[in-house]
């Protein structure tokens, strides 16, 4: 999606103000292209969790028009070695079966494969009907918990490339907060 740089940056800034976040937009020249690469990062201090959550969206273009990427939420889980991945089931999942976790909810289990280092924790998260509903209602997103350089990180990406409204960002952040609250 194309929009003006001003529209994009003001959208992030407005959301940042609503949620008491800190916005940082970096501008770097794109290697090999005659354009710039922008990364907008909003950081929130979440008192309930005692940690920071980041919302990240990138754009490529110039000071007039930019093409937007997906939005990405990131949270660091302190003192954890827990990993998890969930993805929509496809033909490869049916041909190459893995040790996936079954929640017992047939509609959810038919559509998703869950793999985790901690089955109990994964079941606690994905047996929740509100969490299942969030995953079933979104078609374009990814969610995983991984260990990167010894740090456990939770990532949720909404893959629609668009200018998200403040309401959509609030709803997405609230969903992410609900999910990490269940971990």
Per-residue pLDDT averaged across 25-34, rounded? 83
- Cβ atoms within 10 Å of 104's Cβ, excluding its own: 9
Q: Where are the domains of the chain?
A: 2-182
pLDDT digits (tens, 9 = 90+) for 153-165: 999 988 888 888 8
pLDDT digits (tens, 9 = 90+) for 59-89: 888 878 888 888 999 998 887 888 998 888 7
pTM: 0.83
Distance CA 166, CA 172 (A): 10
18-32 burial, b if ≥16 CB within 10 A, otherwise e? Answer: ebebebebeeeeeee
pLDDT digits (tens, 9 = 90+) for 98-147: 678 999 999 999 888 899 999 999 999 999 999 998 888 876 678 999 99
pLDDT digits (tens, 9 = 90+) for 163-180: 888 888 888 889 898 998
Distance CA 108, CA 88 (A): 10
């Amino acid at each position: 999606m194309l929009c003006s740089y001003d529209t994009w940056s003001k959208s992030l800034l407005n959301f940042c103000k609503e949620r008491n976040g800190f916005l940082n937009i970096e501008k770097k020249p794109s290697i090999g292209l005659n354009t710039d690469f922008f990364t907008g990062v909003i950081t929130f201090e979440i008192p309930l969790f005692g940690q920071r959550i980041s919302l990240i969206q990138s754009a490529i273009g110039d000071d007039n028009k930019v093409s937007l990427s997906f939005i990405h939420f990131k949270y660091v889980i302190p003192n954890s070695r827990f990993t998890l991945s969930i993805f929509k089931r496809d033909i490869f999942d049916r041909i190459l079966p893995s040790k996936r976790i079954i929640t017992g909810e047939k509609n959810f289990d038919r559509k998703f494969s869950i793999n985790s280092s901690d089955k109990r924790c994964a079941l606690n998260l994905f047996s929740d009907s509100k969490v299942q509903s969030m995953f079933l209602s979104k078609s374009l997103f990814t969610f995983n918990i991984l260990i990167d350089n010894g740090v456990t990180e939770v990532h949720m990406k909404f893959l629609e490339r668009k200018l998200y409204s403040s309401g959509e960002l609030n709803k997405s952040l609230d969903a992410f907060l609900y999910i990490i609250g269940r971990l």
